[in-house]
Amino acid sequence: MSNIVAGQEENARLAKEPIGRLLLQFSIPCVLSMLVSALYNIVDQIFIGRSVGYLGNAATNVVYPFTVVALALALLAGDGSAALLSLSLGRSDYDICHKCIGNGIVLSAGIGILLMAVGLCFTDSILTLFGVTEASYSYAREYIDVILLGIPFYVFTSGMNAAIRADGAPGYSMFATVLGAVINLILDPVAIFLLDMGIRGAAIATVIGQAASCFVTLLYFRRPKSFRFQKSSFCFSGRLVRQIAQLGISSFITQIAIVIIISVSNNTIVNYGPQSIYGADIPLSVIGIVMKVFGIVIAFAVGIAVGGQPIAGYNYGAKKYHRAFLTYRWVVVSDVLVGAVAMLLFECCPQVIIRIFGSENDLYHEFANLCFRIFLGGILLCCVQKASSIFLQSIGKPVKATLLSLSRDVFFLVPGVVLLSRFFGVTGMLWAAPIADVLSFFLTLVLLALEYRSVRNQMEEHVRPRKEPQQN
């Protein structure tokens, strides 16, 4: 019990220590964890591109959306549990802590097993949904048959690492994620080149790394810092599950939006690509690479924001609103720097990135240049929008967080891809992304201004002296 009290006292420092120092301590492990997660698929793509070629990369792009669906559901349970834990610790409501994490663990395990079963039963339907071509089908099937076996490990690790961070152990969360990535990085070239297993070898290396990360993540929950599990921890509570889902819905939508984007883009390319000089397989391969590079930048931006989540959530729960918004300010400034560096890199030297994935023909490189310079042209604004959505989620504002999560990808980007491709083909659809970034950025300003005004009014009400009743 003394260890639990010590853990709770350690979390109390979130309301006392300087925000900049706290954000640095929490964000660095989060950024590394999310960066490593993003690198799982991109490392496969690099090695596959150099061994199989662009058809192999096109195949992984077709499978990638299903793994993002798994991540979305993992974060629904994991980020929701973590946000509720932070808010409960800030309110000193310790009875909720062990129950919300216990429910999150059961949800994550059930989701992973269910997704694996669905994938194994409807493999061909999934590949068709996400735009597989005849040329890339055999590679995609070979890859997904193995990847599906690792989905339960992937879901549990991705979801419950957020709870570990919220419990005040971002370093352990980072270790669990990095371990799997390092194993994957070592085994990829061995399986692909040395054992000559090709794209199947890349998938096997990924699953082994995911299993290792899952095992280490599970070990943490033997002795968490700020609570202890009881039998009631793992009993489903409808009220708690609803709260978890409300707080995690923003993360879920952010990831599902990526699936929608990839699915719509892939099918658009299949329809309109043959009418262009690039065909269908070149744009399909390039879009996959661009989306995964985009994922690396977002890993930095979101990692910083997720690092600030326990700080903002704890202080908001403790009614220290000024510290919650000061955390948001630090997060946004950091993400603007990340976005600015990425934008300069994509605009000035995209070929440096493209050649990492292998050298192809001139048409391939021409379309890749267009993708990086146009499709990722508004990356700076996108970083701010993603961070703002996470902040709103962390302070318990699921409606605003959900609206912001939906805005960029679902309300603006997907319709833009459909409309612009109809009039201007596969190159025209690339302009949908920067347009969506600008529109969603303005919505971000509006929602954050409204939330700040609401909180400021609460603070003024709190400090305003009450009038004494007049004596007759």
Confidence of residue 114 (pLDDT cuts 50, 70, 90): very high
Residue 160 predicted with pLDDT over 80: yes
- Under the banding of pLDDT at 50, 70 and 90, the label for residue 212 is very high
Q: Which of 139-143, 165-169, 375-379 has the highest mean pLDDT?
A: 375-379
pLDDT the model gives residue 97: 76
Q: How far is CA 84 from the centre of its chain?
A: 18
- CA gap 401, 386 in Å, rounded: 10
What share of the chain has pLDDT > 70, as a percent?
91
Helix 151-166 to helix 19-51 angle (10° resolution) is 160
pLDDT at 117: 94
pLDDT digits (tens, 9 = 90+) for 431-441: 999 999 999 99
pLDDT at position 196? 79
pLDDT given at position 112: 93
> How far apart (Å, rounded) are the C-alpha atoms in residues 9 and 314?
12
The reported pTM is 0.69
Confidence bin at 2 (pLDDT 50/70/90): very low
Q: Work out the average pLDDT over 271-285.
A: 78
Average of per-residue pLDDT across 57-82 = 83
The model's confidence at residue 5, banded by pLDDT at 50, 70 and 90, is very low
Six-digit token pair at 16?
């006392």
d(CA 444, CA 389): 8
The residue behind tokens 């326990």 is 310
Instruction: State pLDDT tens for residues 6-59.
Output: 444 555 667 777 888 888 888 887 787 777 766 666 776 777 777 777 677 777
Between 284 and 462, the higher pLDDT residue: 284
In our burial notation (b when 16+ CB lie closer than 10 A, e otherwise), range 90-110 reads: beeeeebbbbbbbbbbbbbbe
Spans of all domains in the chain? 19-453
Residue 272 CA to residue 276 CA, distance in Å, equals 7
Q: What digits encode the pLDDT tens for the residues 234-264?
A: 777 777 888 888 888 877 877 787 778 777 8
| Residue 386 to residue 408: CA distance in whole angstroms | 9
